[in-house]
Amino acid sequence: MFETAELAHRIDKATWKAEEPQLRQDLLDAQFELLSRQQFPVLILLAGVEGAGKSEIGNLLNEWMDPRHIHTHAFDLPGNEENERPYMYRYWTCLPPKGCIGIYFGAWHSMPVVTRAFDRISKDEFDHYIETAQRMERMLTDEGMLLIKFWFHLTKDQQKKRLEELASKKATRWRVGEHEWSYFARYDDFVKASDHFVRETSTGQARWYVVNGSDPRYRALTVGKTLLTAIRTRLAEGASAAPPVAAPPLIPSVDSPSLLHNRELDRELAEEKYEKQLEKWQGRLN
C-alpha cells in the first residue's frame, strides 16, 4: 500500500512560488462556496508515521483557509468520561456542521494501529476495530459527509533522518522525545499494522490518500490540490446553491474612529525572525 509513497518526490522553489498563491486562493473560494451552500460538511483525517508532517499540514490548512470555519481536534488517550461511553463517542461529538470543515488528528485509526503495533491486542481484536471504523465511515458518508483521509508516509531511513534533524536543533528538539523514538523502534510493526488498516478501510466513498511526507512543498501541494478537487467535485454534484440569507445590514458608523483605526496595521516581521520566534513559542506552549 505504501510502495508508491516511497518514491522520490520533490517540488522545487520556483514551482512552489508559482503554484502556491493560486492554490490558496482557490481553496479559500471553495471553502466559502461550501459555507454559503451549507449542503454538506467536510471531515479531513490526518494520519501517518511520526515526523511525516501531519501537524504541519494541519497548521497550513488553517493558514490557507479561514480558520473560523475549520474545527480542528487532536485526540489523545480517552479520559474517564469517554471510557464510560462507546468507542466512537468522542469523535461523534466533534463532527463539523454542514458548510464547515473538520480536521482530526489521532482519529479512530490511531489507537487500533498503535496497540496492534505494540502487540497489545490480537489480530481478531484489531479486525474488530477495523469493522467499527468501516461502519462509522459508511454512516458518515451515507449521511452526506465528504470524508477525505490522508496518510503521510516515510521510509525508515527518512523517518530516522527527520527525527534526528528535529532533535539536533535547540528550537525543535522539544518535538522529539521517548515517545517518538519508541514508535521508531517499532517502525516495521507500525507499517505492517498500518498497511492492513489502510487497505481494509480505503473505500470508494472514503479512500485513503497516501502521501510521501519527506518534502514539505510536495506534501503541501499534494494535499491542497487533492482537497480542492474533492470539494469542487462534490459541490458540482450537489443541488443548486441555496438562496442567500436575508441578514440585516451592518449598523452604519456615525463617526470615523474604530478599533482598526487604533491598531498599527503596517508593522512587519522578517521571515527569518518569524520562523525563529515561532519555534520558540511553540516549544514554550508544548
Residue 162 to residues 20, 50, 157, 198, Cα–Cα distance (Å): 24, 9, 9, 23
Q: Is residue 23 part of a domain?
A: yes
Strand partners, 148: 44
pLDDT in 10s for each residue of the chain, 286 residues: 677 777 778 899 999 999 999 999 999 999 999 999 999 999 999 999 888 889 999 999 999 999 999 999 999 878 888 889 988 999 999 999 999 999 999 899 988 999 999 999 999 999 999 999 999 999 999 999 999 999 999 889 988 998 898 889 888 888 888 888 988 899 999 999 999 999 999 988 899 999 998 899 999 999 999 999 999 999 998 743 333 433 444 444 434 445 556 667 778 888 888 888 888 888 888 8
| Burial bucket for residue 34 (CB in 10 Å: 0-12, 13-18, 19+) | buried
Q: Is residue 267 part of a domain?
A: no
Could you tell me the three cell numbers for 29?
473560494
For residue 239, how far is the Cα from the chain centroid?
27
Residue 248 to residues 90, 243, 245, 252, Cα–Cα distance (Å): 37, 15, 9, 12
DSSP state letter for 265: -
| Long-range contact pairs involving 255-260 (C-beta distance under 8 Å, separation at least 24) | none
Q: Which residues of 232-252 are buried (b: 16+ CB within 10 A; e: fewer)?
A: bebbeeeeeeeeeeeeeeeee
For residues 98 and 34, is the Cβ–Cβ distance under 8 A? no
Number of H helices and E strands in the chain, helices first, is: 11, 5
Q: Is residue 276 part of a domain?
A: no
Q: Report residue 248: phi and psi, to 5°.
A: -70, 150
Residue 194 identity (one-letter amino acid): S
Q: Is residue 176 part of a domain?
A: yes
Could you tell me the three cell numbers for 143?
449521511
DSSP calls for 83-101:
HTS-TTHHHHTTPPPTT-E
Q: Is residue 281 part of a domain?
A: no
Strand order in the sheet with 146-153: 70-74, 101-105, 42-48, 146-153, 208-212
**Based on the structure, what is the number of domains in the chain?**
1
What does the alpha-carbon distance between residue 178 and residue 193 come to, in Å, rounded to a whole number? 21
Domain of 142, CATH number, reads 3.40.50.300
What is the per-residue pLDDT for 261? Answer: 61
What is the per-residue pLDDT for 179? Answer: 83
Q: Is residue 185 part of a domain?
A: yes
What does the alpha-carbon distance between residue 183 and residue 186 come to, in Å, rounded to a whole number? 5
Range of the structural domain that residue 117 is part of: 4-258
Could you tell me the three cell numbers for 240?
443548486
Q: Which residue has the cell 522520490?
A: 8
What is the per-residue pLDDT for 271? Answer: 87
All residues at 6 or more sequence positions from 205 whose CB lies less than 8 Å from its CB, including other chains: 137, 138, 141, 147
